[in-house]
Structures are given as C-alpha cells and as structure tokens.
Amino acid sequence: MKNKKILFIVSNMRVGGGAERSVSYLCNGLKKHYDVELLTFYNDKKEYSVNVKRHSFNDENKSNLLIKFFRFFVKYPLKLRRFLKKNNYDLVVSNADDANLVSHLTKKVFYKKIKLWSVIRADIQNKVYTKTLFLYKYADKIITICKSLEDKYSKVFPKKYFATLYNALDFEDIKEKLKEKIPKAEEKVYSEKTITAVGRFVPQKNYFFLIEVFKEVLKERIDVKLLIFGTGSQEQEIKNKIKEEKLEQKIILMSVKKNIFPYLKKTSVFVLPTNYEGMPRVLMEALSCGCVSVANNCPTGPAEILDDILTHEFKDQKYKKAKYGYLVPLNDKEEFRKAIIDALKNGKPYKAKAIKRAKDFSLTKVTKDWVEEIERS
C-alpha cells in the first residue's frame, strides 16, 4: 500500500479551524499506509503540525472579494494544474468548500486526468459555494463526515458515489495536551461553575442566541460564568452586547487557544449553540474530555454524535436527554435554558458516557476506515 501517493488539499492549516485539525490528524494517520503529502494555499503564523511533506502556494489570506475571486476562479486552478502535472499522485483529496471549488475547477477545465475525492465538511451555506455546487459532479467520489450530510447531498447528486468517513480524534495527542496546565492568571475563572463555548465569532456560531439564553440561566441564581473561546468578525459586536447587558463579570471572552483541552476538562458544561455544522469536531473533543454537553440540534452533526441518529429522526419538541448529552430543538431559547440548568445540576452521569462515545471516533478506527475506502476504489 505504501507505494500509493496521496495529496491532501486544504486552504490553510491555521490553528482554530476544525477542517484544518481534521486534515492534520488524517495526514498523520494515513502516512503509515501511504506516501502522503499536503498542499495549502495560505501560510499562517499559528498552524497545526503535520508530519508529511508540505507544499504551499505561499499566499496571505486576504478578505478582499475581488482578490479572492481571482485567486479561486483563475490563479489557484492554474497553479494547481501546474503543480499536479509536476507530481504524479494516485489520489487527490480536497477538503472544505474553498479547496473543493479550486479542485473542481481544475479538473473540469484544466486537468481532467486527476482522480479527485472531495470532502464535504459542513452543510454548504455560503452563496458562492451554493451557486457552484454543481461542480461537485466532477469529483470521482464525494466524502461526507457524517451520515446526515451524505443523506442530504446524495439526493442532490444521486448518481455520484458517496462514502461517510467521520472526523478523527487522536487520543495520544489529547492525552499529552491534557497534561498542560492552564496559566494561573486564567485559573481564577474556574473558582465557580463554568459554561464553555468554542468557535469563531461569526453568525454561524450563534453567540447572540447563547448570550440571551445565559441571561435566563442567571435568573436561577446559579453561581456560573460563561466562557467563550474564539475570535472573528463579530467580536466587537459581541463585546458591545455583553456590555449592554451588563454581563462583563459573568461572560468572559477568552482568546483562541492552541491547546483547548485543559480548559474543556475543567468546565462544568460545554455548549454548542451553532446554527449549522458538519460533524462538529469541538463537540467530539469536549466528549473526549468528559464534558457534559448541550447542543443545538442543527441540520447535521450533533444528533449523530450525541444520540447515534440522523437529525430528521429527532422529533422531540423539548430538550432531550440523549445517550451522550443534551439535544435541544434548533434555536429554542427556553429549552436550551432548561437543558443547561439540568446539565449543571444533574449532568455528572454523562461524563463517563462522553469519554466512551468519543472513542468511537479514534484516529486508529477512522484511519482504518479511510484505508478500506481507498483500497476498494
């Protein structure tokens, strides 16, 4: 098997991204079986480590729309064609919307001979990507990271071959990271109960909803703080909201952490209030730390992680004590409040169940699934 040469493509390896961490784990797991290499478009100061041969287009990530349009529709497909012609890969695996778009255009217009698998890592919401969704038909195989995504997109592309291959958790890496200590300056926030959310400050992550829910939780006179780890475009708006609600002492905005695991380990309840996801890695990571978790039942991901079911099978109109955590009907503030309070008071039995569930996504198991899928192709 080692003679097969596989290229993974992802736009960047920036610390904080779920797709980036997933790709780093996959590359490190599959390198034992194949000659694995990685290509990125951008370089960042803080990146996940990956122990395979690394290539990059060496660009800086720019937010200017004209620059991005030129890069993704012209520059990168041309550069990718030149790169692939110089290197002979048995399989190219593109990851997430932006890298998928570039790879699809490359195969359609410039270099049809590549064997391309495209990994859908989240429900596709961005208008540019939804309008270019038809390009997925040029992939030889579509990989989804949860069954709910496969269920949705196999109806869009009924003639394409699909496979679901879950995100992986590297338990050896997690074990080492849990040994690190939280800086003393930050430890004081854990002098009382804490609710933790992790993710970019963007509309998808739904933090204004979470703040409204937390306001109602405080009415129960529970001694608790809300910690939000992240950064992003809505950061100032979120700070303004916290100040407006006079919650500066109760809601703490924490910076992005390269190692989130010691913080997850110490939290009382982990919450996932997002509007949409793929297979939310941070929820899986929370389970691996034994977190009692409360999640919005968004279109894909949480129901499979917390209760082994597809989202459309969740019919409850109230919050549900699922197998491995709490599931809440999407954006129901009252039910989310009730679930958090229940989790704070009665959630301890979920700790052992959470760790057991997380092991279903071990890197060893997921790597084995990838190898089987590659070998059957």
Average pLDDT over residues 33-38: 96
More confidently predicted of 38 and 62: 38
Least confident piece of the model among 1-5, 44-48, 93-97: 1-5
More confidently predicted of 324 and 126: 324
Task: Sheet with 224-229: list strands edge to edge.
Answer: 251-254, 224-229, 193-198, 269-272, 293-296, 326-328, 320-321
Q: Is the pLDDT of residue 306 over 90?
A: yes
Residue 32, C-beta contacts closer than 8 angstroms, at least 6 positions apart: 367
Q: Alpha-carbon distance 284 to 170, whole Å?
A: 11
Q: Domains of the chain (ranges plus CATH)? A: 5-168+362-376 (3.40.50.2000), 173-360 (3.40.50.2000)
Residue 166, C-beta contacts closer than 8 angstroms, at least 6 positions apart: 145, 146, 279, 361, 366, 369
Q: Tell me the residue type at 180.
A: E
Instruction: Please report the pLDDT score of residue 65 as a whole number.
Output: 87
pLDDT band with cut points at 50, 70 and 90 for residue 352: very high
- The DSSP-derived string for 50-84 is --SEEEEEEEPP---HHHHHHIIIIIHHHHHHHHH
Instruction: Give the whole-number percent of the chain exceeding pLDDT 90.
Output: 76
Residue 264, C-beta contacts closer than 8 angstroms, at least 6 positions apart: 196, 198, 270, 285, 286, 289, 291
In this predicted model, what pLDDT tens digit does every residue of 198-217 receive, in sequence order?
999 999 999 999 999 999 99
Its pTM stands at 0.85
- The 3-state DSSP class for residue 146 equals coil
- The 3-state DSSP class for residue 330 equals coil
Average of per-residue pLDDT values in the chain: 92
pLDDT band with cut points at 50, 70 and 90 for residue 1: low
E-assigned strands of 219-287? Answer: 224-229, 251-254, 269-272
DSSP 108: I
pLDDT band with cut points at 50, 70 and 90 for residue 2: low
Instruction: Please report the pLDDT score of residue 202 as a whole number.
Output: 93
For the CA atoms of 345, 347, 348, 350, the dihedral, rounded to the nearest 10 degrees, stands at 180
In this predicted model, what pLDDT tens digit does every residue of 5-28 receive, in sequence order?
999 999 998 877 778 888 999 999
Residue 70, C-beta contacts closer than 8 angstroms, at least 6 positions apart: none
Average pLDDT over residues 181-193: 91
Q: Is the pLDDT of residue 327 over 80?
A: yes
CA dihedral sign of residues 305, 92, 173, 57: negative
Cβ count near 49 (within 10 Å)? 9
